[in-house]
Amino acid sequence: MNSPFGTKRFNSYSDYFKRTFGERVQKLTIDAGFTCPNRDGSLARGGCTFCNNKAFNPSYNDPKKGVAQQITEGVEFHKVRYRRANQYLVYFQAYSNTYASLDKLKMLYEDALSQEGVIGLVIGTRPDCVDDAKLDYLKELSQQYYIVVEYGVESIYDEVLDRVNRQHTYAQSVEAIEKTAKRGIITGAHFIFGLPGETREMMMQSVEAVSKLPLHSIKFHQLQIVNGTHMAKDYRKNPEAYDLFSFEEYVDFIIRYTERLNPNFIIERFAGEVPPRYQAGPGWGLIRNDQITIAIEKEMEKRDTWQGKFYKNGME
């Protein structure tokens, strides 16, 4: 085995956190009541065709509770499973979490950072919802706290982004990522595999462009058809327009993609899970994310492969 990641076959998020903090750091997801410019009419209405935040928000998430109460309830929620966690990152996840005035963002972020045990923030947002003033402020915060800005990129192809009503271009994603990374802020990105209009060949070809981005971490999700979305309605009418991965197909695809991926990127997750009650299309049953990762690692071992094995620029 020639993997550069020791006993691992990929640049593991959990290993990175152990190296960085010396112990488990738990994310606490909160809903701070944000919206998106393609929901409120600024750009469009209805949001991304695949999006239903209720499908992945924990039960304690409710913007009416405020930031502090959600953090308190989140700590109790996670203590059942992760009793050893003493440090927390507050994950502003629902919708676009920089889509507000700078004054409002300061109030929300600083409220979160003032809570006991909170050492930083993970801020999920869109590339068209940041500007220089907001990024300068986040740069200041990052000098004292662990700050991550995570962009929903989803695809590098504008025709695919347009089809799912993203209302931004890939060029905007690149610009936002580069501006964030240049300020020394930890920068992440999220991609979805299986969006309508994006063939599997197109997905595989995208790895070269993705690998050139100045990213610290990356998340991958297979497309899932979620109840309560425009995509679910379209899927019922036009199922032939969707080429959804079976579990076995996805394991094969993501391994081949990872072999070509920049090995410097920390992989936060390979796939996503949605509660069965939200599934409007074929799912993978009750398999959890950790089980998906184990299956991918076992197949990597079988193939004697690893992240970046065929990355054409080699380790940087």
Q: Where are the domains of the chain?
A: 13-303
Residue 314 has what pLDDT? 47
Whole-number pLDDT of residue 33 = 92
Helix, strand, coil fractions of the chain, as percent rounded to 5: 40, 15, 45
- 190: tokens are 């999220």
* Positions of the chain with pLDDT under 50: 314-316
Three-state DSSP state, 282: coil
The pLDDT score that the predictor gives to residue 52 is 84
| Residue-level pLDDT at 145 | 98
Four-point Cα dihedral 69, 75, 81, 83, nearest 10: -160
- List the CATH code of the domain at 13-303: 3.80.30.20
Average pLDDT of the chain to the nearest whole number: 92
pLDDT at 288: 85
Instruction: Tell me the Cα Rg of the chain.
Output: 19
Q: Are 96 and 51 in contact (CB under 8 A)?
A: no
